[in-house]
Amino acid sequence: MTSAFDPHRAREDFPALQQSVNGMPLAYLDNAATSQKPRAVLDVMDAYYEHDNANVHRGIHELSRRATEAYEAARVKAARWINAASADEIVWTRGTTEAINLVAASWGLDNIGPGDEILLSVLEHHSNIVPWQILAARTGATIRYIELDDQGRLLLDDLPRLLGERTKIVAISHVSNALGTVNPLHEIIPAAKAAGAVVLVDGAQGAVHSSVDVQTLGADFYAFSGHKMCGPTGIGVLWGRRDMLERMSPYQGGGEMIHIVGRDASSWAAVPHKFEAGTPNIAGAIGLGAAIDYLDTIGMDAIVRHEHELMAYAMERLRAVPGIRIFGPESLEERSAVVSFTMGDAHPHDISTILDAHGVAVRAGHHCAQLVMKHFGVPATARASFYLYSTREDVDRLFAGLDEVRAIFG
Ligand code: PMP
């Protein structure tokens, strides 16, 4: 299957990619923000609402039974996607952001106190910084950071100094959304564990572009979002080691998460339902299950190989553009399918506007990673990010647009 992979063929599966923007065929290069959705996912979600729509785990009637079955089947698919030991270790969330907030609020408030340390990196998305800042402000804990080198790679030589008996949790991204840096989790996690810390991995960009095996990774928590991997928005996963989840307090209270409710106190449902208060995003979970099925038919090996080849082509061409500054690791082995850049005096917003006029969608801004921007002394970058349906023609279109940026800004 892998050798036959053709991104042009895959492109046909995505209705949104068939359109023109500003009179030009769409070249969608903003995949790190969100991916497009294949017809297979849209159809499954439509079919759910048209035929099976009902609340889950509550009704005994046929539609509720069907909805519950499809919802729980999607949980099994999500578990398989990251090789979790059991579907009970998969907590549905709104996405990576909510998953990290859940851990910070639940595990964090029960386990973090004054003088404790939370270790992050300068590379983190705001979603993996701000929840810990809120927790630190509530508990009197201190946040420390792994710094970056001039290629946006973590300075791991500092780890022995940063990790100590006060370090209660290390929260680290798998892959940086701003630079594409792939973090060496195989070095960080064992070091954190040896120091007795709990480890959370922000996998928003990791579970999309690589095969993840949480059983060999050695972390305690892994979070990812459905919308970046062909699924709908509003659904994501917190994977937690079962014993961790079982010891944690609920995040939110309400229906679905209880066992018995009394006047003054209640008891909780078993994991993962203990963390899923209220009517969940049923269609979202089913849609993410369909996205996983879709990605499975293509195969992660084929996706990784394609992205790698495309990145090699894009980087070679980018390096030749006069006035360009490329951020992130030079080696393709250390980088995912993302490239952040600036061009001479052109503001990244202007770059993005000019590219948009060519039908090329890239992101411009701080990418929710202001600490990264500060590290490099820039307010913003332009960012092109690729996925399975990105093609060399998309890359060529990006460069045609950049020619015009150069013509305008010199
Ligand atoms: N972490 C990283 C590395 C991300 O790229 C993103 C999404 N840009 C998030 C966290 C937050 O994900 P979401 O908005 O889907 O919750």
Q: How far apart are CA 337 and CA 326, in angstroms?
A: 14
Q: How far is the CA of 137 from the centre of ligand 1 (A)?
A: 23
281, 296, 311: which is the final residue of a domain?
296
What CATH number is given to the structural domain containing 222?
A: 3.40.640.10
* Catalytic entry in 40, 54, 134, 368: 368
Q: How far is the CA of 125 from the centre of ligand 1 (A)?
A: 7
Residues 284 and 308 in one domain: no
Residues 219 and 286 in one domain: yes
> By alpha-carbon position, which residue is closest to atom 2 of ligand 1?
204
Crossing angle of helices 392-409 and 300-319, rounded to 10°: 30
Residue 1 lies in a domain: no
Total domains in the chain come to 2
Residue 2 lies in a domain: no
For ligand 1, whether the C-beta of 124 sits within 6 Å is no
296, 323, 347: which is the final residue of a domain?
296
Residue 71 lies in a domain: yes
For ligand 1, whether the C-beta of 232 sits within 6 Å is no
Average pLDDT over residues 149-178: 98
Can 368 be counted among the known catalytic residues?
A: yes
Q: Could you identify the atom of ligand 1 that is nearest to the CA of residue 33?
A: 8
Average pLDDT, the chain: 97
For ligand 1, whether the C-beta of 97 sits within 6 Å is yes
pLDDT 10s digits, 298-336: 999 999 999 999 999 999 999 999 999 999 999 999 999
Q: Is the pLDDT of residue 82 over 70?
A: yes
Q: Are 367 and 352 in contact (CB under 8 A)?
A: no
Residues 213 and 85 in one domain: yes
Residues 279 and 372 in one domain: no
Quote the domain boundaries for residue 212.
43-296
Q: Is the pTM for the entire model greater than 0.75? A: yes
Q: Are 195 and 163 in contact (CB under 8 A)?
A: yes
pLDDT 10s digits, 336-394: 999 999 999 999 999 999 999 999 999 999 999 999 999 999 999 999 999 999 999 99
Residues 248 and 307 in one domain: no
Residues 285 and 306 in one domain: no
Residues 344 and 289 in one domain: no
| Residue bearing tokens 């600036």 | 342
Residues 200 and 266 in one domain: yes
269, 296, 323: which is the final residue of a domain?
296
pLDDT 10s digits, 95-114: 999 999 999 999 999 999 99
pLDDT 10s digits, 60-69: 899 999 999 9
Residues 201 and 277 in one domain: yes
Average pLDDT over residues 142-157: 98
- Count of CB atoms situated within 10 Å of the CB of 74: 28
Helix (H) or strand (E) holding 268: strand 266-268
Residues 56 and 149 in one domain: yes
Beta strands in 270-409 (DSSP E): 324-327, 338-343, 360-361, 363-365, 381-385
Q: Could you identify the atom of ligand 1 that is nearest to the CA of residue 236?
A: 15
Q: How far apart are CA 199 and CA 336, in angstroms?
A: 22
| Residue bearing tokens 């208060």 | 277
Task: Enter the tokens of residue 92.
Answer: 């549905």
